[in-house]
């Protein structure tokens, strides 16, 4: 069976796309799934994370880069070799993002706890709808119990989008481990472990229904 393509997209920078890709990759690999990463962001943050990880030993998954025009070719190649292909995308909404969304079985849209992020989400959602792509919005870097997080959560519900049951908290473990080529759960047990595990189960559950 061909592997599932998961694209992580958000037109606003700083929403945590690369962090979600990296942590999902490690979580899936720990479940015995074969995983490939595809970095389409010219900034190359996912590639730097991967190479840092590779220098420390076996990274645990395959890695490729691609421009927009090469996404379909890379996806065809990687989906035949992996259970899951995770695509990191540049922070913009234009023709460069369309090929990745078109190839996707699921588009994950991270939204930080800020009204600006909610506004930025609409462009991704519109493009995903035009491409008939399945979408899941993930509230990311959230400070639990704060009014701004509650307001953003309400704004997402008002948009009528599919939101993950899992909320990813504002955890120091995420940026600390990204800098050394690891995922937060590789730092040790903590609330970040439960959050990423729960998000991974949600993603796998949605893709089984497709």
| pLDDT tens for each residue of 70-102 | 999 999 999 999 999 999 998 876 767 889 999
Q: Over 70: is that where the pLDDT of 209 sits?
A: no
| H-state helical runs in 65-146 | 71-79, 98-103, 115-130
Residue 178: band (very low, low, confident or very high) from pLDDT cuts 50, 70, 90: very high
36 belongs to a structural domain: yes
Structural domain span for residue 62: 4-108+169-203
Question: What's residue 149's pLDDT?
Answer: 76
pLDDT in tens, 140-162: 888 777 777 777 778 787 877 88
Q: Over 80: is that where the pLDDT of 126 sits?
A: yes
190 belongs to a structural domain: yes
85 belongs to a structural domain: yes
Q: Residue 57's closest CA among 184, 181, 174?
A: 181
Cα–Cα distance for residue pair 167/139, rounded to 1 Å: 5
For the entire predicted model, the pTM comes to 0.92
Question: Residues 1-29: what's their mean pLDDT?
Answer: 92
Question: Residues 93-119: what's their mean pLDDT?
Answer: 85
For residue 67, give the CATH number of its domain. 3.40.50.300
Residue 192: band (very low, low, confident or very high) from pLDDT cuts 50, 70, 90: very high
The tally of domains found in the chain comes to 1
CB atoms within 10 A of CB 182: 19
50 belongs to a structural domain: yes
101 belongs to a structural domain: yes
Structure tokens at 76: 């065809």
Is the distance from CB of 200 to CB of 20 less than 8 angstroms? no
Question: What's residue 194's pLDDT?
Answer: 96
Q: Among 6-10, 117-121, 174-178, where is mean pLDDT lowest?
A: 117-121
141 belongs to a structural domain: no
Residue 67: band (very low, low, confident or very high) from pLDDT cuts 50, 70, 90: confident
26 belongs to a structural domain: yes
130 belongs to a structural domain: no
Question: What's residue 77's pLDDT?
Answer: 94
Question: What's residue 91's pLDDT?
Answer: 84
Question: What's residue 114's pLDDT?
Answer: 73
Structure tokens at 34: 């074969």
């Amino acid at each position: 069976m061909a592997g599932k393509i998961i694209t992580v997209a958000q037109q606003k920078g700083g929403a945590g796309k690369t962090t979600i890709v990296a942590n999902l990759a490690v979580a899936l690999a720990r479940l015995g799934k074969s995983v490939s990463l595809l970095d389409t962001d010219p900034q190359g943050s996912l590639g730097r994370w991967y190479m840092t990880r590779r220098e420390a030993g076996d990274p645990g998954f395959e890695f490729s880069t691609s421009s927009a025009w090469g996404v379909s070719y890379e996806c065809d190649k990687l989906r035949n070799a992996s259970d899951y292909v995770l695509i990191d995308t540049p922070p913009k909404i234009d023709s460069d993002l369309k090929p990745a969304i078109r190839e996707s079985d699921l588009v994950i849209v991270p939204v930080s706890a800020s009204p600006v992020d909610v506004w930025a989400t609409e462009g991704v959602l519109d493009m995903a709808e035009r491409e008939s792509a399945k979408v899941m919005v993930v509230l990311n870097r959230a400070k639990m119990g704060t009014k701004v997080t509650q307001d953003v959560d309400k704004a997402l519900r008002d948009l009528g989008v599919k939101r993950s049951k899992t909320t990813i908290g504002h955890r120091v473990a995420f940026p600390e481990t990204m800098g050394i080529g690891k995922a937060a759960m590789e730092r040790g047990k903590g609330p970040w472990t439960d959050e990423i595990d729960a998000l991974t189960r949600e993603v796998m559950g949605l893709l089984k229904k497709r």
